[in-house]
Amino acid sequence: MLHKRLITVLTFNDGVLFRTKLFNPDYRYTLNFVDAWSVDEIVVLDVTRSGQGERANFESVVRRFASQCFVPLTVGGGIRSMDDVRRIIALGADKVAVNSAVAERPELIGEIATQYGSQCVVCSIDARRDEESRYEAFTHCATRATGCDVATWARRAQDLGAGEILVTSVERDGALSGYEIELCRQVVDAVQLPVLISGGAGRWEHFVEGFVKGGASAVCTNNIYHFTEASICSAKAYLAKAGIPVRV
């Protein structure tokens, strides 16, 4: 039986770790608070707006994580060409997450998969409910609507060669009120790929719901509350007790 995964997602603006949702900076935390031995994977995302900040600052973050973490590292944000991909891989990333590029240049997914394998490509989807309560895919840090529902967007990514889907509920991101289970279920039912769910976790029970009700292969958390060694170990103990197969 495949183990379910617990993933830490960290967002950086110009190399500074930001809290989720409103992207408020939090200078207290650095790499040393991430328990790289207990968490299954780490995702680092560059949320720096276009024309602001220096890309080199984020690349320094990636290099530091790659050299000090001993779990798979996924890097996303600002990846729009194969040159971007090669640079991030050279810095030590195991996977790349693409979001806006799926709208701007969808063939990039296939190019990455051809050169590095589908397991290297994560399609990151930001989702919002529209006026008809349909989940719509957004790009560019969730500021641009695609006009396409999330399930169709995920299937397109799968057909193009993506190896995983990371779906984030924009409305729930940072709310600590639980994952958007219906959103996760729709994506899981639409593709034959592992689905990673993000946005909303506030209690260990939410992880169980993501796995059992949502059908997720991995649950992601990006609130500081979860980022200590004790909390990650406690989360895994809780999941194991609930019958969820996890690496402990």
Owning domain of residue 111 = 5-241
At 159, the amino acid letter reads: D
- CA neighbor of 239 nearest in space, from 216, 206, 217, 215: 206
Residue 115 is assigned to a structural domain of this protein: yes
Whether 37 shows a pLDDT value over 90: the answer reads no
Number of domains in the chain: 1
The pLDDT confidence band at residue 127, using thresholds 50, 70 and 90, is: very high
Whether 92 shows a pLDDT value over 50: the answer reads yes
Whether 24 shows a pLDDT value over 80: the answer reads no
Residue 248 is assigned to a structural domain of this protein: no
Residue spans of beta strands (DSSP E) within the chain? 5-13, 16-18, 41-46, 73-76, 95-98, 121-129, 135-139, 144-149, 164-169, 195-198, 218-221
Residue 46 is assigned to a structural domain of this protein: yes
Residue 247 is assigned to a structural domain of this protein: no
Residue 219 is assigned to a structural domain of this protein: yes
Residue 246 is assigned to a structural domain of this protein: no
Residue 84 is assigned to a structural domain of this protein: yes
The pLDDT confidence band at residue 94, using thresholds 50, 70 and 90, is: very high
The pLDDT confidence band at residue 220, using thresholds 50, 70 and 90, is: very high
Whether 27 shows a pLDDT value over 60: the answer reads no
Q: What pLDDT sits at residue 226?
A: 47
Per-residue pLDDT, averaged over 220-245, amounts to: 78
Could you tell me what percent of the chain has a pLDDT over 90?
Answer: 63
Whether 105 shows a pLDDT value over 90: the answer reads yes
Residue 214 is assigned to a structural domain of this protein: yes
Q: What pLDDT sits at residue 130?
A: 84
Q: What pLDDT sits at residue 175?
A: 81
CATH code of the domain in which 58 resides: 3.20.20.70
